[in-house]
């Protein structure tokens, strides 16, 4: 079974703090994704990586950066957390096979920025 | 612009009935359409994939249809159970970009 793990289920941070969210997958997937999910807005793609050290902006990259130094690990960084970044963050991974490939999600990190 | 629409209102049905959820899309020509289930506080889980040349796909109590003329997919759960209560998301591949684009999901509530 594919497993996608995220470093924390719940996080509470202060405005202005630097926040690291870690994601690890164990199935050698090329593609990894970071989404945030807010009520009524659905899943919104923040960043996407299709290979080590490669990244691509999603729909809402402002205020975020990412790092992919190893194939299995994809990190999301909030450079200076703000209250409007309070959200559920979901990591996902997928084989590079196009639309027929299933996407596997982690359990999510619920981040509260005070 | 490309758009995926799912009914934002929750669907309430009685146990044993068939639930039907709708996914409409515009400005896409997807080769595949996927359905996911999401429970509160958890990540989505893949349920079914249907290809453009498949009219219908079944898995146990689940059935998905795909009408590329109407640009619509229907997701059916027959003999629904309270355990089927969840949010159901449809997703399309953004062609050439290796990214799935998700609808906002429809919440299903099955009452005993």
Phi (first) and psi of residue B83, to 5 degrees: -70, -15
Count interface pairs A-B at CB distance under 8 A. 63
pLDDT the model gives residue B5: 92
At a CB cut-off of 8 Å and minimum separation 6, what does A97 contact? none
**B9 in contact with A at a CB cutoff of 8 Å?**
no
**A60 in contact with B at a CB cutoff of 8 Å?**
no
For residue A17, what are its two tokens? 């703090």
Terminal-to-terminal C-alpha distance of chain A: 37
Q: Is residue A2 predicted with pLDDT exceeding 70?
A: no
**B3 in contact with A at a CB cutoff of 8 Å?**
no
Tokens 């997928």, residue?
A94
Q: Are A64 and A46 in contact (CB under 8 A)?
A: yes
Interface touch B104/A42, C-beta < 8 Å = yes
pLDDT the model gives residue B94: 63
For residue A23, what are its two tokens? 């994601």
For domain B3-111, give its CATH number from 3.30.530.20, 2.60.40.10, 2.40.50.140, 3.40.50.150: 2.60.40.10
DSSP for B17-34, please give it.
SPEEEEEEEES---SEEE
Tokens 């509160």, residue?
B40
At a CB cut-off of 8 Å and minimum separation 6, what does A63 contact? A78, A79, A80, A82, A85
List chain B domain ranges: 3-111
For each of chain B's 112 residues, which pLDDT tens digit applies?
Answer: 778 999 888 999 999 999 999 999 988 888 889 999 999 999 999 999 998 889 899 999 999 999 989 999 999 999 999 999 999 999 987 656 678 889 999 999 999 9
Distance CA A56, CA A35 (A): 13
Interface touch B43/A108, C-beta < 8 Å = yes
Secondary structure element (H or E) that encloses residue A75, with its range: strand A73-78
Q: Which of B4, B100, B101, B104 to mutate to test the interface with A (most CBs of A within 10 A)?
A: B100
Residue B99: count other Cβ atoms within 10 Å of its Cβ.
22
Nearest residue on chain B to A40, alpha-carbon basis: B104
Chain B: nearest CA to A61, how far in angstroms?
15
> Hey, what domains does chain A have and what are their CATH numbers?
4-107 (2.60.40.10)
Could you report the per-residue pLDDT of A25-41, keeping only the tens digit for each?
Answer: 999 999 999 999 998 88
CA distance to A107, B4, B8, B57, per residue, from B66 (Å) = 29, 14, 20, 9
Could you report the per-residue pLDDT of A40-80, keeping only the tens digit for each?
Answer: 888 999 999 999 999 999 999 999 999 999 999 999 999 99
């Amino acid at each position: 079974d594919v497993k996608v793990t995220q470093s924390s289920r719940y996080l509470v941070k202060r405005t202005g703090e630097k926040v690291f969210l870690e994601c690890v997958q164990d199935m050698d997937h090329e593609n990894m994704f970071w989404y945030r999910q807010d009520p009524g807005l659905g899943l919104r793609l923040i960043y996407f990586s299709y290979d080590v050290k490669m990244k691509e902006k999603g729909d809402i990259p402002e205020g975020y950066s990412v790092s992919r130094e190893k194939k299995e690990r994809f990190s999301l960084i909030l450079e200076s957390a703000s209250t409007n970044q309070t959200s559920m963050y979901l990591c996902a991974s997928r084989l590079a096979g196009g639309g027929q490939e299933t996407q596997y999600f982690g359990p999510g990190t619920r981040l509260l920025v005070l | 612009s490309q758009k995926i629409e799912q009914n934002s209102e929750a669907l309430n049905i009685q146990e044993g009935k068939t639930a039907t959820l709708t996914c409409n899309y515009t400005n896409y020509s997807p080769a595949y359409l996927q359905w996911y289930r999401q429970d509160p506080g958890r990540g989505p889980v893949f349920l079914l994939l249907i290809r453009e040349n498949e009219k219908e796909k079944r898995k146990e109590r689940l059935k998905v249809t795909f009408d590329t003329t109407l640009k619509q997919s229907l997701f059916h759960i027959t003999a629904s159970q309270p355990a089927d209560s969840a949010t159901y998301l449809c997703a399309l591949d953004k062609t050439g970009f290796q990214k799935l684009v998700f609808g906002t999901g429809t919440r299903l509530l099955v009452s005993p």
